[in-house]
Structure 1
Amino acid sequence: MNHRAISVPTNSLPASAGIGLKPEHFLDILDQRPDLGFFEIHAENYMVPGGPFHYYLGRIRADYALSVHGVGLSIGSPAPLDEAHLDRLAELLARYQPESFSEHLAWSTHDGHYLSDLLPAPFNAATLARVCEHIDRVQERLKRRMLLENPSTYVEFSASDMSEAAFIGEVVRRTGCGLLLDVNNAYVSCTNHGRDPLEYLRQLPLSAVGEIHLAGFARECDSLGAPLLIDSHGAPVAQAVWDLYDEALALIGPVATLLERDNDIPPFAVLHAEANAAQQKLARLQRKVAA
């Protein structure tokens, strides 16, 4: 496969804390102008020409850095990419010129149907070739570097013959894409599969990390009574995830960090407080680096 060079924008997200932008918080943000590094949107919520979402995003974008996070490209699907979806994405990015764009190492489409979930794929040569081909096409069409997010998983495939970290490292090496390190996903997946999350982090291509995600999880049990963590985005960040975030920052250095909440969305002040907790960690590390 011939992987193409990509055009990388010179701007990037600030090494500060940000929050996922939710319509429930539009007015709070415009009234308070909170001290945050950036906001992040889900691309698919803005793939229309107009309406209130665009009105508020335009006003907020004027004052803040922006990250666009896709959930519908189905990078891991065996089918070709949906070119119409990619065109709409390109139009959105041209409109707002975000500092970052990211997508998931997952698939969500099959035989023309969209599945409302981010599903895993086996880590093997066939999946690797397909994922790299899709990322090459995305980066070629968008003319920018894409960040690829590590998944949260609940099952593993007997067809896998690579570790997740080795697979991601090879994707980054072949395509030149970056890595969106979701620390909650790392903790959830490693707990579910009985692995050491810190060792997993150390095996990733950490020099490619362009953004970090933090989120909450739900705790359940599987049919055998073993703990099963679900990446719910509906709870505060767990202490174990904060601890793993500290380890990630020690390995990587200060990097843009997003607080995600997509379910049971609390008042803006609650999310802002969580973002401030991440900002304090970033600021302490920045002072240490500068000393």
Structure 2
Amino acid sequence: MKIPKESERTAAGIPARAGAGLKGEHVSEILSTRPSVGFFEVHAENYMGAGGMPHRQLEAIRREYPISLHGVGLSIGAEGPLDKAHLQRLKALNERYEPGLFSEHLAWSTHDTTYYNDLLPVPYDEETLERVCDHIDEVQSVVGRRMLLENPSTYVAFEQSTMSELDFLKQIVARTGCGLLLDVNNVHVSCVNHERSAEAYLAEFPVEHVGEIHLGGHAPDIDDEGRPLLIDAHDREVDEAVWRLYEILIARTGPLPTLIEWDNDLPAWPVLLREVELAHAVLDRAQPVEARLAG
């Protein structure tokens, strides 16, 4: 496997450091304290109006920090066509803020004119693969830049799937040239829910195409048969099991841009900053890829 040079692994303007999801409640404190954060990530759908307080806050942050743009509503995996108006708004946001990274989910959240709050999984078969690749080609063509695609958290498996999730992702990258956003919490959640090995999943993941990593918290539960069930809740600290997986991953890849996601039950800024600092500690212990190859 070809391991890219470090310069190939860091998007323009986004350092191989830890960042945090930007929330309006934290903006004033961030601007007054100027914390050591590598970048901030925003959900694109929160900034699709023309102006107002959200844009004033983001413009102030953008003057001080790199940003990444993370879409949650494009519905890449939906059976119908992409929403052209939504796609144009994504293009406008990319042009307005020039984020170092732009990403979306391998999921669907729309049907006809209905919009769902959840990011729903897709079957891994050839028909879905062709549709997802067509959608990604359209996004990259309209927006005019490379997109990162995030691996999902899943709770059920489709009987019609004819390939593994990893094979599905590898085929998407090969056909579209997009990159990947590796959500380590999603890996842990999915592997616990499907009684698989997260370590084995990560060992086979095509890390040479990863442009960003996500870490977040999950909520433990049990299913109807009494087995462990994890929910990708983004409402608490990163779990120790996810930190261990992250350590394993970074030892293999070298430092990569890493985001702490905390979207629900939002804590005070110092609590979120502490999670960023924990990720920085992992990144600081890792040798860059070029240094390891030279040794």
* TM-score (norm: length of structure 2): 0.94
Paired residues of 2:19 and 2:41 also in contact (CA < 8 A)? yes
Code of the residue aligned with 2:36 in structure 1: it is D
Paired residues of 2:251 and 2:287 also in contact (CA < 8 A)? no
Identity %: 56
- Matched position secondary structure for 1:133: helix
Q: Aligned partners of 1:202 and 1:171: how far apart in 2?
A: 19
What is aligned with 2:7? none
Q: Aligned partners of 1:137 and 1:210: how far apart in 2?
A: 20
- Matched position secondary structure for 2:220: strand
What is aligned with 2:111? 110
Paired residues of 1:79 and 1:110 also in contact (CA < 8 A)? yes
What is aligned with 1:157? 158
Q: Aligned partners of 2:204 and 2:41: how far apart in 1?
A: 27
Following TM superposition, by how much is the alpha carbon of 1:12 offset from its aligned partner in structure 2, in angstroms? 4.7
* TM-score (norm: length of structure 1): 0.95
Match runs of 1:177-256 below 5 Å: 177-256=178-257
Matched, 1:52 2:53: yes
Paired residues of 1:218 and 1:232 also in contact (CA < 8 A)? yes
Q: Aligned partners of 2:11 and 2:111: how far apart in 1?
A: 36
Following TM superposition, by how much is the alpha carbon of 1:117 offset from its aligned partner in structure 2, in angstroms? 0.8
- Matched position secondary structure for 2:156: coil
Matched, 1:166 2:167: yes
Paired residues of 1:123 and 1:164 also in contact (CA < 8 A)? yes
What is aligned with 1:94? 95
Following TM superposition, by how much is the alpha carbon of 1:202 offset from its aligned partner in structure 2, in angstroms? 1.8
Cα shift readout 1:195-224 (whole Å, capped 9, x = no counterpart):
111111122211000000000000000000
Paired residues of 2:189 and 2:232 also in contact (CA < 8 A)? yes
Q: Aligned partners of 1:101 and 1:274: how far apart in 2?
A: 22
Cα RMSD for the two superposed structures: 1.4
Paired residues of 1:104 and 1:149 also in contact (CA < 8 A)? yes
Paired residues of 1:166 and 1:204 also in contact (CA < 8 A)? no
Q: Aligned partners of 2:240 and 2:38: how far apart in 1?
A: 23
- Matched position secondary structure for 1:272: helix
Query: Any stretches of 5+ residues in structure 1 without a counterpart?
Result: 1-8
- Matched position secondary structure for 1:40: strand
Matched, 1:68 2:46: no
Code of the residue aligned with 2:46 in structure 1: it is N
- Matched position secondary structure for 1:198: helix
Matched, 1:80 2:71: no
Q: Aligned partners of 1:267 and 1:242: how far apart in 2?
A: 21
Paired residues of 2:77 and 2:122 also in contact (CA < 8 A)? yes
Cα shift readout 1:217-261 (whole Å, capped 9, x = no counterpart):
000000000000000000100000000001111222110000000
Q: Aligned partners of 1:126 and 1:201: how far apart in 2?
A: 26
Query: Any stretches of 5+ residues in structure 2 without a counterpart?
Result: 1-9
Paired residues of 1:172 and 1:205 also in contact (CA < 8 A)? no
Paired residues of 1:109 and 1:115 also in contact (CA < 8 A)? yes
Paired residues of 1:77 and 1:108 also in contact (CA < 8 A)? yes
Q: Aligned partners of 2:114 and 2:101: how far apart in 1?
A: 28
Code of the residue aligned with 2:124 in structure 1: it is F
Code of the residue aligned with 1:213 in structure 2: it is H
Paired residues of 2:14 and 2:257 also in contact (CA < 8 A)? yes
Q: CA 1:55–1:276 in 2, change beyond 3 Å: closer, same or farther? A: same
What is aligned with 1:285? 286
Cα shift readout 1:130-178 (whole Å, capped 9, x = no counterpart):
0000000000011110000000000000000100011011101110000
Q: Aligned partners of 1:175 and 1:245: how far apart in 2?
A: 27
- Matched position secondary structure for 2:67: strand
What is aligned with 1:15? 16
Q: Aligned partners of 1:13 and 1:157: how far apart in 2?
A: 36
Paired residues of 1:166 and 1:203 also in contact (CA < 8 A)? no
What is aligned with 1:176? 177
- Matched position secondary structure for 1:160: coil
Q: CA 1:230–1:10 in 2, change beyond 3 Å: closer, same or farther? A: closer
- Matched position secondary structure for 1:62: helix
Q: Aligned partners of 1:264 and 1:252: how far apart in 2?
A: 32
What is aligned with 1:5? none
Q: Aligned partners of 2:116 and 2:241: how far apart in 1?
A: 31
Following TM superposition, by how much is the alpha carbon of 1:287 offset from its aligned partner in structure 2, in angstroms? 7.0
Following TM superposition, by how much is the alpha carbon of 1:65 offset from its aligned partner in structure 2, in angstroms? 0.8
Following TM superposition, by how much is the alpha carbon of 1:286 offset from its aligned partner in structure 2, in angstroms? 3.6
Q: Aligned partners of 1:241 and 1:269: how far apart in 2?
A: 21
